[in-house]
Structure 1
Amino acid sequence: MDNPALANILRGMEYNSDIVIVGGGLNGPALALALARAGLRSTVIDALDEPVRKNAAFDGRAYALALASVRLLDNLGVWARVADHAQPMLEIKVSDGHAGQGPAPFFLHFDHAEIEEGPMGHMLEDRFLRRALLEAMAETPLIIQVSGDRVIAQEVGPKGVSVTLGSGKVMSARLIVGSDGRGSGTAMRAGIKRTGWGYGQTALVAAIAHERPHNGIAHQFFMPHGPLAILPLPGNQSSIVWSETDETAARFAALSDADFMEVLRPRFGDFLGDITLAGKRFTYPLSLSVANQFVAERLALIGDAAHGMHPIAGQGLNAGLRDVAALAQVLDEASHRGEDFAAEDVLARYQQWRRFDTATLAMATDLTNRLFSNDNPLLRAARDLGMGAIGALPGLRRGFIREAAGLSGDLPDLMRG
Structure 2
Amino acid sequence: MTQEYFFEGDVVIVGGGLAGLTLALAMDQAGLTVAVVDALPVEDRLAPEFDGRSSALAYTSWRMFEALGVAEHLHPHAQRIEHIMVCDGRPYGGTKPGGPGRHMLHFDRREISEGPDGEPLGWMAENRHTRHALAKVLKNRDRIVAIAPAKVVNHEIFGDRGEVTLDDGRKLSASLIVGCDGKFSRRKAQSGIRSYGWNYGQNGVVTTVEHEEPHKGVAYEYFMPSGPFAILPLPDNRASLVWTEGDKAAAALKAASDEVFQYELENRFGDFLGKVRPVGPRWVYPLGLRYSEQFCQPRLAFVGDAARGIHPIAGQGFNLGIRDAAALAEVCAEAKRTGHDIGAVTTLRRYEDWRKFDSSTLALGTDLFTRLFSNDIEPIRHIRGLGLSIVNAIPPARRFFMRQAGGETGDPPRLLKGEKLTAA
**Which amino acid letter does the alignment assign opposite residue 25 of structure 1?**
G
- Verify the 8 A CA contact 2:7 2:35 in the aligned structure 1: no
2:407 equivalent in structure 1: 406
With over 3 angstroms needed to count, the CA separation of the structure-2 counterparts of 1:60 and 1:189, relative to structure 1, is closer
| 1:109 and 2:106 matched | yes
Counterparts of 1:338 and 1:28, CA distance in 2? 25
Local SS of the residue matching 1:39: coil
1:48 is matched with which residue?
40
Spell out the pairing of 1:25-174 with structure 2 (5 A cutoff). 25-56=17-48, 60-100=52-92, 101-116=98-113, 118-174=119-175
Q: SS at the partner of 2:156?
A: strand
Partner of 2:279: 278
Q: Deviations over 1:155-188 (max 9, x none)?
A: 1010101111011111111110000111111111
Report deviation, 1:15: 6.2
Distance 2:174 2:52 in 1: 37
Q: In structure 1, how many angstroms separate the alpha carbons of the residues matched to 2:304 and 2:291?
A: 10
- 2-side partners of 1:214 and 1:188: how far apart? 44
1:291: Cα distance to partner?
1.1
CA-to-partner distance for each residue in 1:115-153, whole Å, 9 max, x for gaps?
A: 125200000111111011112111000001101111001
Contact 1:15-1:174 within 8 A present in 2 as well: no
Structure 2 residue runs without a partner (length 5+): 93-97, 419-424
Report the 3-state secondary structure (helix = DSSP H, G, I; strand = E; otherwise coil) of the residue aligned with 1:118.
coil
- Taking the aligned partners of 1:58 and 1:119, their CA distance within structure 2 comes to 29
1:257 Cα shift? Answer: 2.4
Which residue number in structure 1 is paired with residue 95 of structure 2? Answer: none
**Is 1:360 matched with 2:343?**
no
Secondary structure at 1:231 match in 2 = strand
Taking structure 1 as reference, are residues 167 and 59 closer, same or farther at Cα in structure 2, changes over 3 Å only?
A: closer
Letter in 1 for 2:69: G
Is 1:152–1:164's contact at 8 Å kept on the other side of the alignment?
Answer: yes
Structure-to-structure mapping, 1:320-331, within 5 angstroms: 320-331=321-332
Q: Distance in 2 between matches of 1:189 and 1:72?
A: 32
Q: What's 1:252 paired with?
A: 253
Structure-1 separation of matches of 2:31 and 2:301: 19
Shift of 1:53: 2.1
Deviates more, 1:228-237 or 1:387-396: 387-396
Between the two proteins, what is the percent identity of the paired residues? Answer: 46
Find the aligned partners of 1:203 and 1:405 in 2 and give their Cα distance. 23
Task: Note the aligned Cα RMSD (angstroms).
Answer: 1.5
1:299-344: CA deviations, max 9, x gaps?
0000001100000000000000000000000111111111111111
Question: 5+ residue gaps in structure 1?
Answer: none
SS at structure 2 position matched to 1:107 = strand
Match of 1:298 in 2: 299
Q: CA deviation at 1:5?
A: 4.0
1:386 corresponds in structure 2 to 387
- Rounded Cα–Cα distance in structure 1 between residues aligned with 2:7 and 2:346: 22
Q: 1:377 maps to what in 2?
A: 378
What TM-score results when the alignment is normalised by the length of structure 2?
0.94
* Structure 1 residue 416, shift from structure 2 partner: 0.8
Indicate the residue corresponding to 1:309 in structure 2: 310
Per the TM alignment, residue 57 of structure 1 is displaced from its structure 2 partner at its CA by 5.3
In the alignment, residue 238 of structure 1 is paired with which amino acid?
A
Partners of 2:372 and 2:49 in 1: how far apart? 37
Measure how far apart 1:51 and its partner are: 1.8
Question: Structure 1: how far apart are the matches of 2:343 and 2:59?
Answer: 30
Residue 334, structure 1, aligned to residue 335, structure 2? yes
Determine the C-alpha separation between the residues in 1 that align with 2:254 and 2:130: 27
Take 1:59 and 1:278, find their aligned partners in 2: how far apart are those partners? 15
Corresponding letter in the other structure for 1:23: G
401-410 or 176-185, larger mean C-alpha shift: 401-410
Give the partner amino acid of 1:44. Answer: V
Q: What's the secondary structure of 2:142's corresponding residue? A: coil
TM-score, reference length from structure 1 = 0.95
Alignment of 1:187-266 (within 5 A): 187-266=188-267
Aligned residue identity for 1:391 = N
1:221 is paired with a residue whose SS is strand
Question: What is the CA deviation profile of residues 196-253 of structure 1, one whole-angstrom value per residue up to 9, with x for unaligned ones?
Answer: 0010111100000111111110000001110100000001100000111112111221
2:181 & 2:321 partners in 1: Cα distance?
12
